[in-house]
Structure 1
Amino acid sequence: MFRRRPADNSEDLLVRLGSLTARARELAETQRSRVELAVALQRDMLPSDLPSFPGARLAVRYEPANHGLNVGGDWYDAFSLPGGQIGMSIGDVQGHNIEAAAFMGQVRVALRALASVTGDPGELLGRTNDLLISLGADLFATCTFLRLDPAAGTLECARAGHIPYIWATTDGRSGIDDSEGGPPLGVLRGVDYPATRHRLTADGVFVLLTDGVVEGPSLHVDEGLDRVTRLAGITAVAGLDVDALATAVMKLAATVGHEDDAAVLVVGHDGGPARSAAEE
Structure 2
Amino acid sequence: MPSKRNESQPPGEPRRLRLGVELELIADQLRSLARAQDRLHDLYEAVLSRNVELPVVLQLIVDTAMELVGARYGALGVLDEHGQYLAQFIPVGLSEQERANLADVEFPRGRGLLGHLITHPESLRVEDIAAHPASAGFPPGHPHLRTLLGAAITTRGTIYGDLYVAERRDGQPFDEHDETLIVALARAASLAIDDARLYEQTRLDAEQFQRLLLPRLPDLRPFDAAAAYRPASTPGHIGGDWYDALLLPDRVCAAVIGDVVGHDLQAAAAMAQIRNMLRALLYDQRTPPSAVLTRLDQALQAVTDQPVTTACLAHIERAQPGAWAVRWSTAGHPPPLLLTPDTRARYLHAAPDLPLGIDTTQTRNDHTHLVPGGSTLLFFTDGLFEHPSHSVETGMDLLAALASEHAALPLQDFVQVLADHHPSDGHDDMALLALRTPHT
Matches within 5 A, 1:1-280: 24=192, 27-48=195-216, 50-65=217-232, 67-118=234-285, 119-150=287-318, 153-171=324-342, 173-236=344-407, 239-253=408-422, 255-271=423-439
Amino acid at match of 2:411: V
Amino acid at match of 2:424: V
Deviation at 1:147, TM superposition (A): 0.8
Q: Which runs of 5+ in 2 are unaligned?
A: 1-28, 34-176
Contact 1:58 / 1:242 at 8 angstroms: preserved in 2? yes
Deviation at 1:71, TM superposition (A): 1.0
Runs of 4+ in 1 over 4 A off after TM superposition: 13-27
Equivalent-residue separation in structure 2 for 1:77 and 1:102 (angstroms): 16
Q: Which runs of 5+ in 1 are unaligned?
A: 1-5, 273-280
Deviation at 1:95, TM superposition (A): 1.0
Amino acid at match of 1:60: A
Equivalent-residue separation in structure 2 for 1:43 and 1:141 (angstroms): 19
Which structure has the larger Rg? 2
Contact 1:150 / 1:271 at 8 angstroms: preserved in 2? no
Structure 2 CA distance for partners of 1:197 and 1:26, relative to 1, 3 Å: same
Equivalent-residue separation in structure 2 for 1:40 and 1:171 (angstroms): 38
Structure 2 CA distance for partners of 1:138 and 1:241, relative to 1, 3 Å: closer
Moved more, 98-107 or 55-64: 55-64
Contact 1:56 / 1:150 at 8 angstroms: preserved in 2? no
Equivalent-residue separation in structure 2 for 1:113 and 1:263 (angstroms): 22
SS of corresponding position for 1:74: strand
Equivalent-residue separation in structure 1 for 2:184 and 2:358 (angstroms): 48
Structure 2 CA distance for partners of 1:241 and 1:17, relative to 1, 3 Å: closer
Structure 2 CA distance for partners of 1:216 and 1:172, relative to 1, 3 Å: closer
Moved more, 121-130 or 257-266: 257-266
| Greater RCO, CA 8 A, separation 6+ | 1
Contact 1:166 / 1:207 at 8 angstroms: preserved in 2? yes
Give the TM-score taking structure 1 as reference length. Answer: 0.81
**Aligned length, in residue pairs:** 260
Contact 1:205 / 1:232 at 8 angstroms: preserved in 2? no
Structure 2 CA distance for partners of 1:120 and 1:132, relative to 1, 3 Å: same
